[in-house]
Structure 1
Amino acid sequence: MICNERQYKITLNQLEKFKAALDGLSQPEDSDWLQVANKNALKSQISDLESQLSEYSMLKEGKARYSLSADLSSLPRVLIQARIGKGWSQKDLAETLSVPPQQIQRYESSDYMGASLSRLIEVASVLGVSIKETWSGSNSVDGNSVFIWEGESNVEWNKFPIREMIKRGWINLKHQVSAVDAVKEYFSHAAGPEYATALHRKKFHGGNSPNEYALLAWQARVLEKARYQVFSGKVSGFEYNDNWVEELKGLSVKDDAPVKVKEYLAKKGIVLVIEEHLSGTYLDGAAMMLETGNPVVALTLRYDRLDNFWFVLMHELGHVFLHLFDSLNMDFFDEGDIAEDDALEKEADEFSLNSLISPEQWDLCLSRFSMSRESVLNDAENLGIHPSIIAGRIRKENSNYTILGELLGQGCVRKLFGETNS
């Protein structure tokens, strides 16, 4: 992690050297495995350096959020991020703590390994970071989980859903390649040259406990499809700005709204990928980051209804704008239940609900009380949105799933994306 301007300049210089080295390599033949490996290694180094430079710049410019609370394992990194995010130099923090600047440099260069507990508490207090530590026993059946792989060596490749991956055409056992080797080869290609894109932390929210390897395989597939869209020139560069969400929901009144949404998001630098969930994942949607800096929103269309499409889409966009650029370094995977005790999911839920219908607008909707077809259609026309959005919200808030079913747009989404689920 970059901690100061000097390190930033050094890293920038290293990046230019790696890029020059990559440009100097000739296009390798498929059979020249050594040259291919060298090229992939350079791409991995470049991706890592670009990620560090981007994180430092966004923290310094106030464009990235850092966590105001941290568990003990992530505390050192969060303290550095909090210091940069406050606009403090290492010297500024040293003066506040009445210690030599060199001491802060030593702390941060070693991830605070030499700091006492009392010093860590003091630094956290000065920077406004609270410390929390939670534990979940092995008997926990809660679907809310965080999955972490420290690196490729921690992955048990034989646990991937190999049969289903073969059935979907993601891998094949050509030339008598073993199933494990085929999975590793696919994952290397699909997840990209920087494995960390798919291996780092995943936060799953839902009522079921998912198969972590099915999650990993599904994400690799999503990233592969997202990367193809970006490299094909179909997606613009991303700017951190959500003032267009109001215009986005206005597309809901169009007959081919989901397709129009994909085109609209691409112009805003966000990749929308449709990919059916794998057995054992219970997924409705996910939000993650491509190495290009483009956010990726992935939907499974597990429930083929317009109301579900819009709620899950906006929920994942909530993660993009509220959480994806903060210091948690997580991808978000969601089973579409409303969150009750998860702060991050509640924030995404509120973003979704309020972006589709503001609290002020919802207060004026007569259909909340009459719950009739005519009142829903009237409110939808007044708000300029599809009736399914209002009908779905009424059913959810009243826990009554026997009403307004004809307004949900059942079976209207998957067919728009065709068989490829691109």
Structure 2
Amino acid sequence: MDTKVIRSDEQHQAYLLEMQNLIAGDPASGSSEAERLELLSVLIEAYESQKYPVEVPDPIDAILFRMHEQGLKQADLVPYFGTRSRVSEVLSRKRPLTIPMIRSLVTLGISAETLLGVELADFAQKRKEDVDWNGFPVKEMVARGWLQKFSSKAAVSTEELVKGFIANAGMQFGVAAFRRSLHGDAYSPTTKYALFAWLARVIQKAREKRAGLAQFDRSVLTPAFFRELVHLSWSDHGPAIAVEFLERHGIAVVIEPALKGTLLDGAALQDSDGLPIIGLTLRFDRLDNFWFTLLHELAHIWKHVDQDETFLDDLNSSSEDRRELEANRIAKEALLPRVNWKRSEAYLNPNAETIDKLSRELKIHPAIIAGRLRKEREDYTLFNDLVGHHQVRKHFNLTAIEV
């Protein structure tokens, strides 16, 4: 279909209608429809920025108006947002609208133009450099040595330092604005700059590894590949061997402690050249947490990550996003297959002896089994001596002070 720069109001309205129809169709990432939706968004934004230089309607005000109009309560919006807490956080402006939320709200009768307007305006503000550069945790970034290469003998401002750091990871907020969509429960508006900084550092470290990595072939990611990875937990050096295993298959694994205030366990993303990246914070120095986080992020690489999306995960939260649920399911099945688990003595009669027996049968570390029991029973006092406390960071030369 021929697509041109918008020159008239009629063309603008036609493109808006087409964009709304595409959103309603929920196109798959990477499809021709998704590509056209992105193109139309850019064209419409450019036209509106020039033709209508005024503030776009606020989506929260639009939602509140529609609730009043239809007599809806916050509980009535749970199907559109996923949980009661998300409804409350969005309406109080503590959590931003996501694309899945916008798609749902369109069915409530709120126009995609209104809801997308703020999303596009947000990008436009970033493109205009309307970024709070002082919002970045500069002191902590300096303490970690992240900004050293971007400083010089001549005095430079905080803004210039951080701009150089962000741009070095291909995440500049200029004309080619920050294009990644951030997903996952670790994201929050109050910690977004710290998360951007951490993400930039992970990308930089992954690029440093690039030359030593094999070419990535997505077809290797199969259930058998996941099981092979899990069997590495049987070794005393399992975490280090697992990282080497993934990097032999072209997946960069970066260990970078989280910045203060961020509730972040791991991340999954793809660099601009297609390099798949897994970032781990090792927030909890336990083997059960390491293996679940690693498998969860690998599942995102397999099923969900593309060049524009990044998953930032707080695995202590209870996400209802279908992609997070799918990553959880894949990780759980790879670590401890249901067919073995539900029939085992460790499940039916859990104790140190039955846990050890099952771990030997499956050739997996007992911490994985102990962690599953604690999670399913929601009792984190159980088998505290079996989950592998202080058995992860040592493999990567990290101390508790560094995390």
- Give TM-score, length-normalised by structure 2: 0.68
Alignment pair present for 1:212 and 2:192: yes
> Which residue pairs with 2:204 in the alignment?
224
> Which residue pairs with 2:365 in the alignment?
386
Corresponding letter in the other structure for 1:334:
D
Alignment of 1:102-251 (within 5 A): 110=40, 137-139=90-92, 141=94, 149=123, 151-152=126-127, 153-172=129-148, 173-174=151-152, 175-191=154-170, 199-206=179-186, 211-230=191-210, 232-243=211-222, 244-251=225-232
2: CA distance, partners of 1:297 / 1:80: 23
2: CA distance, partners of 1:344 / 1:180: 35
1: CA distance, partners of 2:21 / 2:208: 35
1: CA distance, partners of 2:238 / 2:217: 22
1:238-283 deviation line (CA, Å, top 9, x unaligned): 3343121111111001111111111100111111110000112110
Residue 311 of structure 2: SS of its match in structure 1?
Answer: strand
2: CA distance, partners of 1:139 / 1:169: 37
2: CA distance, partners of 1:144 / 1:108: 17
* Worse overlay, 355-364 or 382-391: 355-364
2: CA distance, partners of 1:226 / 1:266: 10
> Alpha carbons of 1:333 and 1:81: their partners in 2 closer, same or farther (altered >3 Å)?
closer
Question: Is the 1:144–1:209 Cα contact (8 Å) retained in structure 2?
Answer: no
- Give TM-score, length-normalised by structure 1: 0.65
Residue 300 of structure 2: SS of its match in structure 1?
Answer: helix
Cα distance, 1:363 vs structure 2: 1.5
Corresponding letter in the other structure for 1:346:
L
1:152-205 deviation line (CA, Å, top 9, x unaligned): 424322211111111111114542111111111111113368986964210131
How high is the sequence identity, in percent, across the aligned residues? 32
Question: Is the 1:143–1:206 Cα contact (8 Å) retained in structure 2?
Answer: no
1:92-149 deviation line (CA, Å, top 9, x unaligned): xxxxxxxxxxxxx9x9975697xxxxxxxxxxxxxxxxxx976863515569978974
> Which residue pairs with 2:304 in the alignment?
323
> Alpha carbons of 1:343 and 1:192: their partners in 2 closer, same or farther (altered >3 Å)?
closer
> Alpha carbons of 1:368 and 1:76: their partners in 2 closer, same or farther (altered >3 Å)?
closer
* Worse overlay, 137-146 or 295-304: 137-146
Residue 405 of structure 1: SS of its match in structure 2?
Answer: coil
> Alpha carbons of 1:278 and 1:241: their partners in 2 closer, same or farther (altered >3 Å)?
same
2: CA distance, partners of 1:362 / 1:144: 38
2: CA distance, partners of 1:280 / 1:197: 25
Alignment pair present for 1:342 and 2:318: no
> Which residue pairs with 1:413 in the alignment?
392
Structure 2: any 5+ residue segments left out of the alignment? 3-18, 45-78, 82-86, 100-118
Question: Is the 1:157–1:183 Cα contact (8 Å) retained in structure 2?
Answer: yes
Corresponding letter in the other structure for 2:286:
R
1: CA distance, partners of 2:358 / 2:177: 43
1:32-61 deviation line (CA, Å, top 9, x unaligned): xxxxxxxxxxxxxxxxxxxxxxxxxxxxxx
Cα distance, 1:84 vs structure 2: 4.1
Alignment pair present for 1:275 and 2:237: no
Question: Is the 2:90–2:97 Cα contact (8 Å) retained in structure 1?
Answer: no
> Alpha carbons of 1:225 and 1:207: their partners in 2 closer, same or farther (altered >3 Å)?
closer
Corresponding letter in the other structure for 2:212:
G
Alignment pair present for 1:266 and 2:219: no
2: CA distance, partners of 1:401 / 1:108: 45
Structure 1: any 5+ residue segments left out of the alignment? 5-70, 87-104, 114-131
Corresponding letter in the other structure for 1:200:
R
Residue 90 of structure 2: SS of its match in structure 1?
Answer: coil
Residue 205 of structure 1: SS of its match in structure 2?
Answer: coil
Question: Is the 1:251–1:257 Cα contact (8 Å) retained in structure 2?
Answer: yes
1: CA distance, partners of 2:179 / 2:32: 26
Cα distance, 1:75 vs structure 2: 2.2
RMSD across aligned C-alpha pairs, in angstroms?
3.7
Cα distance, 1:308 vs structure 2: 0.1
Residue 259 of structure 1: SS of its match in structure 2?
Answer: helix
> Which residue pairs with 1:308 in the alignment?
289
Aligned residues: 315
> Which residue pairs with 2:115 in the alignment?
none
